[in-house]
């Protein structure tokens, strides 16, 4: 997205959105959406630049996956998957359950967009935590971290795809670096979540 700092007039609406979110009883998404509209209306960022930065395919995919996420909850699929994960982690300490949900997110995100992975996995993680009698905060953050780790395939993230041709990489080359890196993120991520997000 075009940075607001490049347009001097864009700083005012941005600060107004921050102040509104901080002081007013307005939800943060609404406050910043209002600031974004104000930036365009005041001409701080030309409308053509706004349109040029919109990624149409990503918007369409997210719009399509939001109903999928809702359907998973409404049909009971979320509860079914969460119960399966609960059965797998039965008798394990909470930190192991946290590692399982982060690993699941890491396994899904190479084949979906990372935002789409969060849409699908977040309700599963929340239900999974509830089944174990644990707070969902750390589990949702584990999904966010796992979904951001698109290291294993060239199709998980556009950056991976863009370097494939110039670098002459094959599909399997990504896992050679991606697997150790994913394991490192898993160890550090779970340990950090365990320290900073109480689960009981």
The pLDDT tens digits of the residues spanning 169-195 come to 888 888 888 899 999 999 999 999 998
Rounded distance, CA 124 to CA 140, Å? Answer: 9
Residue 95 burial (C-beta neighbours within 10 Å; 0-12, 13-18, 19+): middle
Q: What is the pLDDT of residues 6-63, one digit of tens each?
A: 444 445 555 655 565 566 666 766 776 777 787 778 877 787 877 777 766 667 766 7
Domain map of the chain by residue range? 4-52, 56-196
Start-to-end CA distance of the chain, whole Å, equals: 39
């Amino acid at each position: 997205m075009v940075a607001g700092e490049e347009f001097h007039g864009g700083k005012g609406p941005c600060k107004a959105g921050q102040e509104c979110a901080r002081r007013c009883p307005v939800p943060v998404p609404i406050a910043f959406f209002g600031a974004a509209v104000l930036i365009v209306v005041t001409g701080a960022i030309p409308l053509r630049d706004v349109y040029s930065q919109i990624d149409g395919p990503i918007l369409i995919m997210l719009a399509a996956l939001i109903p999928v996420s809702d359907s998973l909850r409404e049909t009971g699929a979320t509860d079914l998957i969460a119960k399966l994960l609960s059965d797998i982690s039965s008798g394990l300490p909470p930190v192991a359950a946290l590692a399982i949900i982060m690993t699941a997110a890491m396994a899904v995100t190479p084949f979906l967009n990372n935002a789409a992975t969060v849409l699908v996995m977040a309700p599963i993680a929340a239900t999974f935590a509830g089944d174990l009698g644990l707070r969902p905060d750390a589990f949702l953050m584990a999904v966010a971290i796992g979904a951001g780790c698109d290291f294993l395939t060239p199709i998980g993230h556009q950056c991976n795809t863009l370097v494939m041709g110039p670098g002459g990489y094959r599909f399997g080359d990504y896992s050679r670096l991606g697997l150790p890196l994913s394991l490192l993120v898993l160890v550090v991520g779970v340990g950090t979540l365990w320290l900073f997000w109480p689960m009981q």
